Amino acid sequence: MTFKTLVTLSIAATLATTSLLASELQGRGASFPGPVYKAWIAQYNAKTGEKVNYTPTGSGDGIKSIKKRMVDFAGSDKPLKAKKLAKNKLLMFPSVVGSIVLAYNIPGVKDGELKLSEKAVAGIFSGKITHWDNKAITSVNPDVKLPHEKITVTVRADKSGTTYNFTYYLSKLDDKAFKASKKPNWQGNVVAGKSNSGVSANIEQTKYSIGYVEYSYKQKLGLSAAQVENKEGKYILPTLSSFQDAAKYATWTPDNDFYALIAYPDGATSYPIVAATFILLPQEKAETNKQVTKFMDFAYNNGDKIATDLGYVPLPKETKEMIRKYWADKGIK
């Protein structure tokens, strides 16, 4: 075989690979919905043969990637306001609702046994409460043996929509100590990890630690998670039922591209830290966007059981219909 023939074959193989990859939708961003997106993608491929690739790199990376048109779609747990969407020529709609749990690793303290008041949560994450036997924690846990051990707070190292929603919630508890941010300047004894999986791994590996992660990551690793005091002063376990109760208070409108922050909801039975996650699309790529919305429409129609099995809350039927009309109005359905 001549060198010229080898070069020709190599070019042909490259073009074939490029053509193959071109038909595969590429997405990246928020790790918060990573498990449910992975499951939806597998289901979609099994039913249709069509390929979607999603890499859970964090909301900050997702927003950056879609702004630079590096991907076909992006995931972000931090919704973008209309002005920012317009500036970057982006479209946005929600995909699913999830929850942020306070997972801990305290030897001898079982899953769901620890209660955390709003005062305790704010104190721990501001660095003002440094030990597990602090009165703000022990006073609501009289039957739990809490040690005089230093608290290790595990947080995100990357720009994160999970962090944005969690700090938005914290700002409702103490607006002087916290502002909503994708990457705040945490105080105290802090260990940082990349993505929800990195924080989960740090909690699993570090005794006397606590951190914030999306519920399905807690489930996957079998981490313990606290009952958290909600807006009505009730201590609520992180369960699908309490997430659903919280999600009922979400309000959506296509007029502002479904912008909504739904953490810290009303309701005596509502879990207090919930968040929607969003899909971002480039306005100008109508044909590619139609492929993305085709996938998402499949997920809306067929993926609710997968979502609930993983601990997410599917969007209400009425919201899905609003989103489909939004797609039609934007010419991407």
pLDDT tens for each residue of 33-82: 999 999 999 999 999 999 999 999 999 999 999 999 999 999 999 999 99
Residues 49 and 139 both lie in one domain: no
- Please spell the DSSP secondary structure of 46-72, one letter per residue: HHH---EEEE---HHHHHHHHHTT-SS
- Stretches where the chain sits below pLDDT 70 are 1-23
Residues 145 and 184 both lie in one domain: yes
CATH number for the domain harbouring residue 38: 3.40.190.10
Q: How much is the pTM?
A: 0.87
Residue 96 contacts residue 277 (beta carbons within 8 Å): yes
Residues 121 and 77 both lie in one domain: no
Q: What is the pLDDT of residue 15?
A: 37
Cα gap 333→328, rounded to integer Å: 5
Give Cα separations from 68 to 73, 88, 183, 282 (angstroms): 11, 9, 21, 10
Residues 218 and 196 both lie in one domain: yes
* Residue 10 forms part of a structural domain: no
Which residues constitute the domain of residue 67?
25-98+251-260+273-330
206 φψ region: left (φ > 0), alpha (ψ -120 to 50), beta (else): beta
Question: Two tokens at 15?
Answer: 């073009």
Bridge pairing between strands 227-229 and 235-236: antiparallel
Total domains in the fold of the chain: 2
Angle among Cα 318, 320, 326 to the nearest 5 degrees reads: 105
Q: Which of 147, 117, 153 lies closest to 132 in space, CA to CA?
A: 147
* Residue 1 forms part of a structural domain: no
Residues 221 and 169 both lie in one domain: yes
Angle among Cα 216, 75, 79 to the nearest 5 degrees reads: 100
Q: How many CB atoms lie within 10 A of CB 5?
A: 9
Residues 118 and 242 both lie in one domain: yes
Last residue in a domain, options 213, 247, 281? 247
Question: Two tokens at 31?
Answer: 């790790």
* Residue 13 forms part of a structural domain: no
DSSP code for 256: G
Residue 157 contacts residue 193 (beta carbons within 8 Å): yes
Cα gap 155→157, rounded to integer Å: 7
Question: Two tokens at 317?
Answer: 């039927």
Residues 159 and 91 both lie in one domain: no
* Residue 43 forms part of a structural domain: yes
Cross-strand partners of 279: 75, 93
Residue 60 contacts residue 183 (beta carbons within 8 Å): yes
Angle among Cα 300, 306, 307 to the nearest 5 degrees reads: 70
Residues 203 and 171 both lie in one domain: yes
Please give the radius of gyration of the chain, using alpha carbons only, rounded to the nearest integer. 22
Residues 214 and 314 both lie in one domain: no
Residues 123 and 223 both lie in one domain: yes
Cα gap 264→166, rounded to integer Å: 10
**Sign of the four-CA dihedral 62, 66, 69, 73:** positive
Residue 68 contacts residue 284 (beta carbons within 8 Å): no
* Residue 2 forms part of a structural domain: no
Bridge pairing between strands 90-105 and 115-116: unpaired
* Residue 40 forms part of a structural domain: yes
Residues 146 and 209 both lie in one domain: yes
Q: How many CB atoms lie within 10 A of CB 83?
A: 8
Last residue in a domain, options 189, 213, 247? 247
Residues 283 and 295 both lie in one domain: yes
* Residue 6 forms part of a structural domain: no
Q: Which of 266, 289, 275, 305 lies closest to 94 in space, CA to CA?
A: 275
* Residue 14 forms part of a structural domain: no
3-state secondary structure of 297: helix
Q: What is the pLDDT of residue 7?
A: 40
